[in-house]
Amino acid sequence: MSELVFFSGTMDCGKSTLALQIIHNRTARGLQAVIFTRDDRAGQGKLSSRLGLVTDAVEVADDMDLYGHLVGVISRGGRVDYAVVDEAQFLAPGQIDQLARVVDELDLDVYAFGITTDFRTRLFPGSQRLIELADRIEALQVEALCWCGARATHNARTIGGVMVVEGAQVVIGDVDRAAEVGYEVLCRRHHRRQMTSASAAAGTLSPDVLPVNHS
């Protein structure tokens, strides 16, 4: 049985590296993929990892019908054994429905890779729909760490090194926090405090104390 599988995690969890590894392993077995991506850091029509690996991909536009695209490839005599979708959080919910249709009607495996929540800790619409429809959800095993050493569970956006909690859901940046728009993974504790590695280094952390009322 073919499956729609959602590989999910935070930034810095190695999702694009895993996507490229899956493609490499199946290519070595003679299988051919159609690779979709959206807003990759390497530019349009690219799937890249922070390790420097990169491959060509189909850039997904807002109005693109992914099911129709694959039907078109097959009808023109192209071979499609499975599909890979990176940056799946940026897809529209309707496009996720199209991926489910690919599995059900074309009998192709679809491997979708994406982060679950944005810098405001809210689900991306594409990720939410994947959680609702996926046959299987796999948490990526590469554990991202907050600057404090705890497990990172939240994505933070920084502008000029300062964490922000308002703004458009999608703004392309990178984990290079020296850039104007950057991203950093944090544990929940430090995301709630809006405390990035830069702000932590700027001052000495005070110990946690419980509030005490003096009579």
Nearest of 143, 127, 144, 147 to residue 194 by alpha carbon: 147
Inter-residue contact 108 to 70 (CB < 8 Å): yes
> Among 3, 59, 87, 143, which one carries the catalytic annotation?
87
Length of the chain: 215
Q: What angle do CA 126, 132, 135 make, to 5 degrees?
A: 105
Q: CB neighbours of 138 closer than 8 A, spacing ≥ 6?
A: 5, 6, 7, 8
In this structure, what are the phi and psi dihedrals at residue 137, rounded to the nearest 5 degrees? -120, 125
Burial of 186 from C-beta contacts in 10 A (0-12 / 13-18 / 19+):
buried
Distances (CA, A) of 162 to 10, 67, 108: 19, 41, 44
Could you confirm whether 59 is annotated as catalytic? Answer: no
> Would you name the residues annotated as active-site residues?
87
